[in-house]
Chain A
Amino acid sequence: MSGEVIVFLLLSSTAILGGILMLNLKKVIHMLLAVVLTFLSLAGLYVMLSAEFVAAVQILIYSGAVTIVMIFGIMLTKHQAKEEKNKNPLRTTLVGLGIVVFFVTIYLAIRNLYFGQEATALHVNNTEQIGIKIFSYYVIPFELVSIVLLVALMGAVVLAKGEEGDEK
């Protein structure tokens, strides 16, 4: 067993552990922290896949920004919010069953997937490669994404500000 496999097993098991904890913890804030664990281990997996820049972005955006926003959301709503008991056990069972079937079918599909190729030069000047790609091939999507972000910013402000004459 090579070192790489060990690292992979470690990272993937923490990621899945984070997910499972998220499903089973009681307090919302704890759930959020469990998800941060998943996000961090995913960043590790990205490094293993020679995507250093994406890993950095993952930590910055997900573990940082998104989580902070979520925490603010929790703070602004109910501080001690707890996940209440499910009122609809039939739906949960059905969804669980569906997920199992879904998992099995997709697993059957990807079990033998092999393309026989491997990009070997991804880690060499990774950020530079991404920059060249974005600014020479994907300029228009890039600009569009910036517009989407701007719109989302304005939308979020408008939505969160509330109507005129609100008590807050």
Chain B
Amino acid sequence: MSSVPLQAYLIVALILFCIGLFGALTKRNTIIVLICIELMLNAVNLNLVAFSKFGASANITGQVFSLFTITIAAAEVAVGMAILIAFYRNKRTVNIDEMNTLKE
């Protein structure tokens, strides 16, 4: 029996998620925004692993899914970076404020 309860892990994950969210919505460097999104994904992963141990039907599936999430996150980083580099090549900046072509 573990002496650290489920809520402790969930709260850590929540704090990390909030930090990530705040960064993603306020930081102006696109690389940092990407990192913040990674942080949020990590918080989710922590939840998955915690539930894998303490969940309503605790079993290995939670860990398997966290592996899948990590894989997708890696793919996302690769594509995100590629987009960033393409963007930088065109605009010579990584500032997210310049990415405002959505309004056109």
Residues of A bordering B, CB below 8 Å: 2, 4-5, 8, 12, 15-16, 19-20, 22-23, 28, 31-32, 35, 38-39, 42, 45-46, 48-51, 53-54, 57-58, 61-62, 65-66, 69-70, 72-74, 76-78, 81, 83-84, 86-87, 91-92, 95-96, 99, 102-103, 106-107, 110-115, 117-119, 122, 126, 129-130, 133-134, 138, 141, 145, 148-149, 151-153, 155-160, 162, 166, 168
Q: Is the CB of A31 within 8 A of B16?
A: no
Q: Is the CB of B27 within 8 A of A162?
A: no
Distance A76 CA – B32 CA, assembled complex (angstroms): 15
> Nearest Cβ in chain A — how far from B43, in angstroms?
9
Q: Is the CB of B39 within 8 A of A19?
A: yes
> Nearest Cβ in chain A — how far from B3, in angstroms?
5
Q: Is the CB of B4 within 8 A of A28?
A: no
User: Binary interface profile of B, 48-90, with partner A (CB < 8 Å = 1, else 0)?
Assistant: 0110111111111101101110111111111101111110110
> Nearest Cβ in chain A — how far from B27, in angstroms?
7
Q: Is the CB of B35 within 8 A of A160?
A: no
Contacts of A46 in B (CB 8 A): 46, 49
Q: Is the CB of A49 within 8 A of B52?
A: yes
> Could you name 13 residue pairs across A and B whose Cβ atoms are closer than 8 Å?
A49-B53, A51-B52, A54-B45, A54-B49, A54-B66, A58-B45, A66-B77, A70-B31, A107-B11, A155-B79, A156-B78, A158-B82, A159-B86
Contacts of B89 in A (CB 8 A): 162, 166, 168
Contacts of B70 in A (CB 8 A): 54, 57-58, 61-62
Distance A19 CA – B38 CA, assembled complex (angstroms): 11
> Nearest Cβ in chain A — how far from B92, in angstroms?
9
Residues of B bordering A, CB below 8 Å: 1-12, 14-16, 18-23, 25-29, 31-32, 34-36, 38-39, 42, 45-46, 49-50, 52-61, 63-64, 66-68, 70-79, 81-86, 88-89, 94-95, 97
Considering the complex, give the chain A residue whose CB is closest to the CB of B50. A49
Distance A166 CA – B86 CA, assembled complex (angstroms): 11
Distance A111 CA – B10 CA, assembled complex (angstroms): 9
Contacts of B35 in A (CB 8 A): 22, 31-32, 35, 70
Contacts of A39 in B (CB 8 A): 42
